[in-house]
Structure 1
């Protein structure tokens, strides 16, 4: 493959990772960002063994481990009865895998700092609305129809509501999901919580409250937590009008231990309303255009796979460019490499979401009584752990990756994080 001039739409984690990985392989890259200044969006997320392996390939695993909080367990209980509904432990799988909870700002800062250190170009203040292929170039157009750049290859990493993806002839309709969530990044002072677990409370499928240890945005800063509360997006304005105090009272009625977090929230501006959508672009390529991350496959956040899938996309695309003789072959190889993994997790997300975010009392009853019981059996424990970790099918080989030796990673980088006493948190047996 000859050296390519590559335009990358979107300077979020997927775009930044693509710029780093492809520039290191000798390609000339340019990032184009909608905002006047590239910056992180959102609160917290879970990096799984899949995404962490990609960061390791970029040489950024150790910086991320220093900022994040190791997660060994996902635990959820019924807010009224205390009955265990969800208990997924990574150690149900062999190999020492774990998750890493991080602030989105930490992931962005780590990747952005590496991009700046590499001297890669970032053009800001560009709203891209279309991409057209003219001869041997892909031409990006802005909102005024002006040419923003002509490239050998365009990578669309601009997110779930990408105008470039929406303009494709084969693009499916973006399906807006009824449920979203209020998110906030808060100090953990005074909060009794497990520093190595995502803990959630449920009331049927209509209410889901969660606390995720999220580490630091930068070295030297305080450890923080991501707090979220799911709701119907259509109800968000009514909740705001009812007042912040009333909303806090509802939270504390479900989960009194969250009082230190509620005390920090003094304004609705501290909460971000996240909206989710589902769409799968098949195939995630067009002539001289590759779609990665949410622009290729957006879904609900139930399995926490968004950023991880995006990083895998980037690695698979870079590997395809490395191992193909021409661009057309490389794009086809990228689409093939990601097909099975993406389809599986899109299907799983569609299947799991109604059990946790829906108006169905029946599905919640089945989840709490039947599914929770079956999930305690040894085969299901390992299956659920492989689903959460993103490794139910091998995503590494097709992306040219070798999974990390997690026992070695723990020994070398995580010994600084001792497991604190678990006080004041009812986590079940």
Structure 2
């Protein structure tokens, strides 16, 4: 396919990766971002072997490994019961997850975008897209592009509004503390309505020593009450569930240190329209239980670039990109819907079964290998479909 003029809407993980891949393939790329200065939102991410493969293809994996933290296990306890113990060693081809601050991954992708000279227009609040043109809140519009890539996430103005899931999470970026497994994502549960977690995220650019992402599950309709009540009662609740978090909690002195993240379940039936394709959370968004969001975004970006390489017409290229990704996306969307109530819900029966049935059974073969494959994102062989090495 000859070079195309492509607008990428959104400077998140999906948008930056897509812009970089398409630019390197010779397309004329312009990035549009609503913030005056592109910046990441959120805290910790777990980059799975699938996401690592895309970064490897971009020549960026080494910096991820240097800045992030290797994660070899996911461990969850409900009281004294170990109800979750996923080990990457159970994977046939091995591998680890990489815990990383979202800002770190943003920087890893943003630096080569800037160095490559890709045009970036900031302060552009997008309100619509028609016939290859983006429309902005100030009444202006762009020239006509051959293709618009919507990478603006689950709240993209170019897709139908989706109500958030009942539960979100509070996130904090803190100095690492003793008392935690250094290469594990650890979680503590009380039923399915109370969950705390600690994820090692390596040493971000803004830090001089290893950091941790601490998170706490919280219903979205209780966030305002949480802010009004103050930090002390919340700290008491976290410490009573997990006393080892005390050194982390001592670092939190201002509610502004905590970011509330909300989530939504949505999959567009048709992610392609005239001169438009949705990727990442704009196409498919889920709860964070399987930790696939950023990884899926990276895979989508690579599939789009591959479709444009393989096909002679734009319609065929977009169809190929969707074909390469649709099966795995549908599978993980289904799994996310099934598993979300297991870890984030107000029910009592499901967490009871989790703790007394699912926990013990999950430690037996072949469930150990199945869990590792699900968490690593390798179910459905998405890398083989894209010609990427595991």
Q: Which residue of 1 aligns with 2:57?
A: 57
The answer to whether residue 245 in structure 2 is matched with residue 251 in structure 1 is no
Equivalent positions of 1:291-370 (< 5 A) are 291-370=278-357
**What is the alpha-carbon distance in structure 2 between the residues aligned to residue 358 and residue 147 of structure 1?**
43
Q: What's the offset of the Cα at 1:316?
A: 0.5
**What is the alpha-carbon distance in structure 2 between the residues aligned to residue 262 and residue 402 of structure 1?**
41
Q: What's the offset of the Cα at 1:191?
A: 3.0
Equivalent positions of 1:188-337 (< 5 A) are 188=176, 190-218=177-205, 221-337=208-324
The answer to whether residue 1 in structure 2 is matched with residue 7 in structure 1 is no
**Residue of 152, 161, 164 corresponding to 1:176:** 164
Q: What's the offset of the Cα at 1:220?
A: 6.9
**What is the alpha-carbon distance in structure 2 between the residues aligned to residue 279 and residue 16 of structure 1?**
22
Q: Which residue of 2 aligns with 1:416?
A: none
What CA deviation, in whole Å up to 9, does each residue of 1:284-326 have, x standing for no partner? Answer: 2111111111000011000000000000000111001000011
Q: What's the offset of the Cα at 1:393?
A: 0.8
**What is the alpha-carbon distance in structure 2 between the residues aligned to residue 112 and residue 60 of structure 1?**
11
Q: What's the offset of the Cα at 1:372?
A: 0.9
Q: Which residue of 1 aligns with 2:72?
A: 72
**Residue of 358, 380, 387 corresponding to 1:393:** 380
**SS of residue in 2 equivalent to 1:396:** helix
Contact 1:277 1:299 in 2 (8 A): yes
**What is the alpha-carbon distance in structure 2 between the residues aligned to residue 3 and residue 87 of structure 1?**
48
Q: What's the offset of the Cα at 1:400?
A: 3.3
**Residue of 101, 104, 108 corresponding to 1:103:** 101
Q: Which residue of 2 aligns with 1:113?
A: 111
Q: What's the offset of the Cα at 1:145?
A: 3.7
The answer to whether residue 31 in structure 2 is matched with residue 31 in structure 1 is yes
Aligned length: 390
**Residue of 135, 140, 145 corresponding to 1:141:** 135
**What is the TM-score normalised by the length of structure 1?**
0.89
**What is the TM-score normalised by the length of structure 2?**
0.98
Across the aligned residues of Structure 1 and Structure 2, the Cα RMSD in angstroms comes to 1.2
**SS of residue in 1 equivalent to 2:34:** coil
Contact 1:186 1:261 in 2 (8 A): yes
**What is the alpha-carbon distance in structure 2 between the residues aligned to residue 397 and residue 326 of structure 1?**
24
**What is the alpha-carbon distance in structure 1 between the residues aligned to residue 252 and residue 138 of structure 2?**
40
What CA deviation, in whole Å up to 9, does each residue of 1:185-222 have, x standing for no partner? Answer: 0011x432111000000000010100000112228732
Contact 1:174 1:279 in 2 (8 A): yes
Q: Which residue of 2 aligns with 1:17?
A: 17
What CA deviation, in whole Å up to 9, does each residue of 1:244-299 have, x standing for no partner? Answer: 11110111111111111111101111101111111101222111111111000011
**SS of residue in 2 equivalent to 1:109:** helix
**Segments of 4+ moved more than 3 angstroms:** none
Q: Which residue of 1 aligns with 2:366?
A: 379
**What is the alpha-carbon distance in structure 1 between the residues aligned to residue 5 and residue 228 of structure 2?**
50
**What is the alpha-carbon distance in structure 1 between the residues aligned to residue 80 and residue 289 of structure 2?**
21
- Which shows bigger deviation, 156-165 or 141-150? 141-150
**SS of residue in 2 equivalent to 1:86:** strand
Flag structure 2 segments of 5+ consecutive residues without an equivalent: none
Q: What's the offset of the Cα at 1:402?
A: 2.5
**SS of residue in 1 equivalent to 2:158:** helix
